[in-house]
Amino acid sequence: MVDFPEDEINISWYRPIFQQAQESITITDIKGNILMANPPALILLETTEDEIKQKNITEFYKNEETKKQIITKLQKNGILNDYKVQIITKTGTELVVNVNANPIYNSQGKILAIHTTFIDQSSIAETRRSLRDSEQRNRALVEHAPEAITVLDMETMTFVDVNQKAMELFKMDRQELLSKSPIELTPKYLPDGKQSDIVALEKINEAIAGGKPIFDWIHIDSTGRKIPCQIQLIRLPHANRTLVRGSIIDMSEKIEAEQKLKRSQMELNQEKKMEAIGRLAGGIAHDFNNTLTVILGYCELLKLELYDNQVLYDMVSEIEQAGNKSSELVRQLLTFSRKEKPAKRAVDINLIIEETASLLQHLIGEDIIVEIDLDPNIGVIEAHPTDITQILMNLVINAREAMPHGGKLKIMTKDYMWMRGTGELHESVFLFISDTGIGMEDEIQDQIFEPFFTTKSSGTGLGLSTVYGLVEELNGSIKVESEAGQGTTFQLTFPVSDSEKVDQIVPENKFDETMLQGRHIIIVEDDAYVRNLVVKFAERFGMEVTATSSPTEVIELYKTTDYDIIISDMVMPEMSGVELVSHLRDSYPDLRVLIITGYMNQPQLQKVMAKGLPVLYKPFTQQNLLNMLLQIFTDIP
């Protein structure tokens, strides 16, 4: 231990500075023996005051080379400035420190001791590194945040920082975006009609005052697309600038999802509505078809009676027209209630158009010219004939309504052969229905096939949705071409069926009507009006008629009489038409049968179809019944 030459320096004023200094300081003699070390030095070198006084400072230097260099430098320059050395602490920790050394002279200029400070570089580096790390972490937090983040400088009113998401949101690169002010990226007016710059300033001021306003906003990206978003503003701490941070959440997807949900809920409601209509229609159709059969049937009979009284004849015709219209309405409603239909068969659209033509002309009125142009080469399609009639009727009625001041309606068919990529040849039938009426704007065309969409004050909006459903059921397609004021063309396409062409309408002259004369017919129908009508019709055909309301009575009667044909209602209280027929067929396998019905539910329908029984739908005319009977007697003479 070397004595500190206290007598030669005034240690008393120096000691407090020495003790309280932040840096690590040692005082050594000129040989490096440690005389004093302050608390930071003891901490740095991981030793105690007693221990350190036993040591030479060079013992803490890691390598010999350093010791020599320090001594050389000190001897040469008198001082050592920020000299970087590696030291090893008492416990063996290696540190890099900056060493500053100064000699302490006495009054004669003789070096008494050396004052050395150590600055721990590794801890500075550590602090710097951790500062840098935390900066990078913060940067990453902002840069990869799920929301768009912008920092607005209030002095320039432009962004001074933006993250990746902000660039994506506005579809701009960083450079572009940094020159922008938020107002440039906002429409002049907000959806509520307020001026956007005024509202923006209010919100920004709220944030500057220490608030954290959250609000809905509209931004515009570089493509001009409007982005509904939610923004939160907050003031960022900064020494001499006023900075406001905005976090912007793009709400377009969420809003879209909400709208989609709303739409699907509406669709669900729509479906429920349709179901209700279906049930209602099913319920009333059965009874209504009976009444209509009677109304129309007697009209037909009356017209025959009133042959020579034009005035009364015309009146009855009016009743008949009204009845036809009602029956069309029932059929339209039924389309919704019947999910499945009787089996389709091969149908020639041309024949149906021809058959419907007279009725169509009736529907249309005289100020509209009807042109029918049928391609004789079209193939047959798989369909239910009444479907085609209904499609035609609905489209023609719309055409008429589009031409209140007259015009031209054209119905055209066209055969169309085409080849698939595979080389397969296909055949389709085109059906065009065009009018020269008021036409439609594009927005209307987009909606016309929706149920309940109508532009008419008394419209139902069910016409085209029915057509659409029917066409789809036939694996066909429908397109509309129209322009406001320029008329409308509906183009329907149906796939041609492979089956043989079948004449689905019985040409009246093909049959010998006399073959019905004298035949014995039994009719079972619980509705007295319909029953009486059939009796009247059959008598007109020269048939002998037995009528009853009870199926069991029929079975009784058959025991004694051999009838030529049985006409049976489908739905009766005692037993169904199908059950009755099955029962009778056990004893009379060659029985001729005709089922009449207004409306059948699915299980009933399947039974009838399984047995291959001919069916006549109510309401039917005398001519319909006649054709059906002639067909049956031709098939089974």
Chain residues binding ligand ADP by CB under 6 A are 398-399, 402, 435, 437-440, 444, 448, 453-456, 459-465, 488
Give the orientation angle of helix 463-473 with respect to helix 385-402, to 10 degrees: 150
Minimum distance from residue 454 beta carbon to Mg ion (Å): 7
Minimum distance from residue 460 beta carbon to Mg ion (Å): 7
User: By CB under 5 A, is residue 327 in contact with Mg ion?
Assistant: no
**Residues across the chain:** 637
Binding at 437: pick from ligand ADP, Mg ion, none (beta carbon under 5-8 Å per type): ligand ADP
Residues 361-400, one symbol each (x = binds Mg ion by CB under 5 A, - = not), give -------------------------------------x--
| Nearest-angstrom CA–CA distance, 618 and 597 | 6
Contact 611, 581 (CB under 8 A): yes
- Coil, strand or helix at 161: strand
Minimum distance from residue 464 beta carbon to Mg ion (Å): 6
| Nearest-angstrom CA–CA distance, 374 and 492 | 14
Binding at 164: pick from Mg ion, ligand ADP, none (beta carbon under 5-8 Å per type): none
Q: Which of these ranges, 1-9, 54-62, 296-304, 458-466, lies near Mg ion under the rule CB under 5 A?
A: 458-466
Residue number, nearest CB to ligand ADP: 463
Minimum distance from residue 253 beta carbon to ligand ADP (Å): 33
Specify the residue, 28 or 434, whose C-beta has the smaller distance to ligand ADP: 434
- Which residue from 324, 375, 321 is spatially nearest to 351, judged by alpha carbons? 375
CA angle 133, 134, 136 (to 5 degrees): 65
Residue number, nearest CB to Mg ion: 463
In DSSP terms, which residues pair with 383 in a beta bridge? Answer: 345
Specify the residue, 182 or 439, whose C-beta has the smaller distance to Mg ion: 439
The CB-based long-range contact list for 286-290 (8 Å cut-off, 24+ gap) reads 286/571, 286/598, 286/599, 287/598, 288/326, 288/330, 288/598, 289/327, 289/330, 289/598, 289/599, 289/617, 289/618, 289/619, 290/527, 290/529, 290/530, 290/598, 290/618
Binding at 448: pick from ligand ADP, Mg ion, none (beta carbon under 5-8 Å per type): ligand ADP
Specify the residue, 36 or 440, whose C-beta has the smaller distance to ligand ADP: 440
Give the DSSP letter of residue 318: H
Specify the residue, 448 or 565, whose C-beta has the smaller distance to ligand ADP: 448
Alpha helices in 416-461 (DSSP H): 442-445
Specify the residue, 489 or 546, whose C-beta has the smaller distance to ligand ADP: 489
| Nearest-angstrom CA–CA distance, 479 and 481 | 7
Q: Which residues, in sequence order, are CB contacts of 398 under 8 Å at separation 6+?
A: 463, 464
Minimum distance from residue 459 beta carbon to ligand ADP (Å): 3
Specify the residue, 398 or 493, whose C-beta has the smaller distance to ligand ADP: 398
DSSP-assigned letters across all residues of 246-257:
EEEEE-HHHHHH
Minimum distance from residue 595 beta carbon to Mg ion (Å): 32
Minimum distance from residue 394 beta carbon to Mg ion (Å): 6
Binding at 551: pick from Mg ion, ligand ADP, none (beta carbon under 5-8 Å per type): none
Residues that bind Mg ion (CB under 5 A): 398, 463
